[in-house]
Copies of this chain bind each other. A is one copy, B any other.
Amino acid sequence: MSTRESIIHLADQLIRDQGYNAFSFYDIAKTLGIKNASIHYYFPGKTQLGIAVIKEQSRRFNVLKQAVADKRPAEQLRAFAHTYAATRQEERICIVGSLASDLHTLDTETGQSLALFAEEVIEWLETVLEQGKKLGDFTFAVPTRTKALLIITNLLGGLQLTRLTQPQDFYTIAETIIQELSPVQIKENNT
């Protein structure tokens, strides 16, 4: 991994661990064994680094998208949820949740970049849900976009809320999302 890539990777980890306003150039520099000023060689300012992090997340999201494009909707959704589960295991949150929380402290470019990425994810999820519905793999009684919003907020919010409860709560949420979409639900009575 190049220095540039390492900077982006570390910035991403720090943003999703501590938040955009809590990480500093020095945090990255000390880990990489370079000096603060060297980060400015690659990124003029924090804004540009932030945008690079969002773009990299978008790139990785598109890699996943392509990788699962031929699979069944349920499996696509499962792969998507799995990335959140991995994030949960790192005790981190998703980039959208992290930066949306700090939105009013970011400049407009960063905000626009983030909004673009969020819309990308929502739209992909809509197509997966539509596919699933057509194939009879998914059942849901609300408009597709609404269902997509509900699922994403469950995952995004789940990462944050379950930092305060237990990791297991997150996995329960993720499993439930998928279970609830199945047309035939084997109901167990948990009393």
Contacts and interface: CB of A to CB of B under 8 A. Distances in A.
A11 to B, nearest CB: 15
Nearest to A169: B149
A100 B163 contact: yes
A31 to B, nearest CB: 16
Contacts of A102: 18-19, 22, 101
Given A146-B173, A176-B142, A160 B101 contact: yes
A19 B160 CA distance: 14
A5 interface: no
A29 interface: no
A36 interface: no
Given A18-B105, A190-B143, A176 B161 contact: no
Contacts of A114: 164
A17 B104 contact: yes
Question: Interface residues of A: mostly helix, strand, loop or mixed?
Answer: helix
Given A91-B104, A122-B165, A185 B141 contact: yes
B165 A115 contact: yes
* Copy count, this protein chain: 2
Interface in A26-70: none
A169 to B, nearest CB: 6
Contacts of A142: 176, 179-180
A150 B98 CA distance: 19
B160 A156 contact: yes
A69 to B, nearest CB: 24
20 contacts: A93-B100, A93-B101, A96-B164, A97-B160, A100-B160, A100-B161, A118-B164, A118-B165, A119-B165, A122-B165, A141-B187, A149-B161, A152-B161, A153-B153, A153-B154, A153-B157, A154-B157, A156-B157, A156-B160, A157-B160
